[in-house]
Amino acid sequence: MPDNHATMDKIVSLAKRRGFVFPSSEIYGGLNSCWDYGPLGIELKKNIQDFWWREMTYRPNVVGLDASILMAPRVWEASGHVENFTDPLVDCRVCKARFREDELPPEKLEKRQCPNCGNLGSLTDARKFNLMFKTFMGPVEEDAAAIYLRPETAQGIYVNYLNVQTVSRLKVPFGIAQVGKAFRNEITPGNFIFRTREFEQMEMQFFVKPGEDERWFEYWAGQRMDFYRKLGIRSEKLRFKPHGPDELAHYAKAATDIQYEFPFGWSELEGVHNRTDFDLKRHQEYSGKSLLYFDDAANEKFLPYIIETSAGLNRTLLVVLLDAYWEDTEHERVVLRLHPRLAPVKAVICPLVKKDGLAEIAEKITADLQAHFPVLYDQQGSIGKRYYRQDEAGTPYGITVDYQTKEDGTVTLRDRDTLEQVRLPLTALAEEIERRLRVA
């Protein structure tokens, strides 16, 4: 597959131009690393999330949960985040810039040289910087009222796992899935929506019998890689990157990242972790409540091990945009070859001209198709310009209403990628597009 020439700059610009992603609070000059999702962005995000939800929970043994963002502060002591969720922060004494020590190039690190102002010996020693956002609950700003914004959605699942298991009458092995916001006060956010301080995670925690954890870890790693292929991401841009012993998070026995080759290099898209019984053991200890699972078939109690799949929704959206971007030099257009399943708008309906009743027919088709899937009516500019706008927005199908439509009730249906056009009776339109969406 030839290079698609996607750069971060091109994607940021297209995302803004077409209404996928805007800088947050833009009229106030923006807020570092915060982004807003526009009309197409929210649809694309929702489509990715819905597909993830379907893939993960349309199974006999995985159910959903939506836990609150604010949790009892003891949760974060038990989880180890208060103590361990830190990055090594260094300051420049001269220009006051801040860096993560583990991200500094070795030559700069050795000379304690600031990458920003270039001064030698200006970097401080590293100190531990906790990434959790802290705020206060209620009207008093004192330590007793301190509370954290969750840095991962996982803990909401662990503290609810017995509630969910009991009401759903699930037996180990079983899973609980959740999508929601997480917050991290990252020292170096950046690369557009790749690393931000507010983001969304799609996490699933799978509870297994100890001893069966390694097999399930392999199983879920495979399932998660398949997910990205089903989203239409090119296989050669994806790889596993297992963690070495010194890279493992404080809770993990084994972990592998699923990485994508971004324009700035191979980087993490999702983490799959074998968290053992670390979390449940700690919550049992800190809460004083038993979290033992009762296996009635074997008549024994045990703490399950947990296999976690943890994906970033915003990061997946970035990958989807980067991977779908295509400069079609032959036809001088930029196309987002989004999988039709993910495309925010499935078809654009264009009257060839506004007059002679063509606009009215096209509006009627738009209203009819809207009952089946999201579509857009466009009468502005030349037909070529209208299609090229939709090519950039990733709309897979284009429908033109012309004079022949008035005579015989047929329209042309254009394919975004092949540019192939076929003539179809109006009565067959919805069915044909639905058929194509199904097989894509």
313-324 and 39-57 helices cross at what angle (nearest 10)? 110
Among 18, 45, 150, 195, binds ligand GAP (CB under 6 A): 195
Q: Residue 45 or residue 386: which is nearer to ligand GAP going by CB?
A: 45
Element holding 154 (H helix, E strand): helix 154-168
Report the nearest approach of ligand GAP to the CB of residue 131 (Å). Answer: 9
Q: Residue 192 or residue 388: which is nearer to ligand GAP going by CB?
A: 192
> Is residue 402 part of the contact set for ligand GAP (CB under 6 A)?
no
Report the nearest approach of ligand GAP to the CB of residue 196 (Å). Answer: 5
175 - beta bridge partners?
A: 62, 206
Torsion from C-alpha of 56, 61, 67, 72, nearest 10 degrees: -130
Distances in Å between the alpha carbon of 37 and those of 22, 32, 52, 173?
A: 6, 15, 19, 37
Report the nearest approach of ligand GAP to the CB of residue 320 (Å). Answer: 13
Q: Residue 279 or residue 391: which is nearer to ligand GAP going by CB?
A: 279
Among 44, 154, 352, 413, binds ligand GAP (CB under 6 A): 154
Q: How many residues bind ligand GAP (CB under 6 A)?
A: 19
Report cis status (omega within 30 of 0) of the bond before 189: no
Determine the residue with CB nearest ligand GAP.
312
Report the nearest approach of ligand GAP to the CB of residue 151 (Å). Answer: 7
Q: Residue 314 or residue 366: which is nearer to ligand GAP going by CB?
A: 314
Cα(386)–Cα(426) distance, integer angstroms: 21
> Is residue 149 part of the contact set for ligand GAP (CB under 6 A)?
no
> Is residue 186 part of the contact set for ligand GAP (CB under 6 A)?
yes
70 - beta bridge partners?
A: 149
Report the nearest approach of ligand GAP to the CB of residue 16 (Å). Answer: 19
Report the nearest approach of ligand GAP to the CB of residue 109 (Å). Answer: 23
CB proximity list for 26: less than 8 A, separation 6 or greater? none
Looking only at residues 196 through 255 of this chain, which bind ligand GAP when binding is defined by CB under 6 A?
Answer: 196, 199, 201, 203
Q: Residue 101 or residue 268: which is nearer to ligand GAP going by CB?
A: 268
Cα(172)–Cα(175) distance, integer angstroms: 8
- Token reading at 166: 């009991």
Q: Residue 85 or residue 293: which is nearer to ligand GAP going by CB?
A: 85
Report cis status (omega within 30 of 0) of the bond before 173: yes
Looking only at residues 262 through 321 of this chain, which bind ligand GAP when binding is defined by CB under 6 A?
Answer: 268-271, 308, 310-312, 314-315
Q: Residue 112 or residue 253: which is nearer to ligand GAP going by CB?
A: 253
Q: Residue 158 or residue 397: which is nearer to ligand GAP going by CB?
A: 158
Sign of CA dihedral 72, 74, 80, 84: positive
H helical segments located in 255-372: 278-287, 313-324, 358-370
Cα(269)–Cα(150) distance, integer angstroms: 20
Q: Residue 316 or residue 400: which is nearer to ligand GAP going by CB?
A: 316
Q: Residue 276 or residue 410: which is nearer to ligand GAP going by CB?
A: 276
Length of the chain: 440
Cα(305)–Cα(205) distance, integer angstroms: 10
Identity of the residue numbered 75 = V
Look at residues 412, 343, 407 and name the one whose alpha carbon lies nearest to residue 383: 412
Report the nearest approach of ligand GAP to the CB of residue 364 (Å). Answer: 43
Q: How many CB atoms lie within 10 A of CB 174?
A: 22
Q: Residue 122 or residue 274: which is nearer to ligand GAP going by CB?
A: 274
Report the nearest approach of ligand GAP to the CB of residue 267 (Å). Answer: 9
Among 184, 282, 346, 414, binds ligand GAP (CB under 6 A): 184
Percent helix, strand, coil in the chain, to 5, is: 35, 30, 35
Among 55, 87, 152, 378, binds ligand GAP (CB under 6 A): 152
The count of C-alpha atoms lying within 13 angstroms of the C-alpha of 68, restricted to the half-sphere facing its C-beta, is 7
Report the nearest approach of ligand GAP to the CB of residue 184 (Å). Answer: 5
89 - beta bridge partners?
A: 100, 127
Taking CB under 6 A as the binding criterion, the range among 191-199, 226-234, 324-332, 337-345 that sits at the site for ligand GAP is 191-199
Report the nearest approach of ligand GAP to the CB of residue 154 (Å). Answer: 4
What is the contact surface with ligand GAP in residues (CB under 6 A)?
152, 154, 184, 186, 195-196, 199, 201, 203, 268-271, 308, 310-312, 314-315
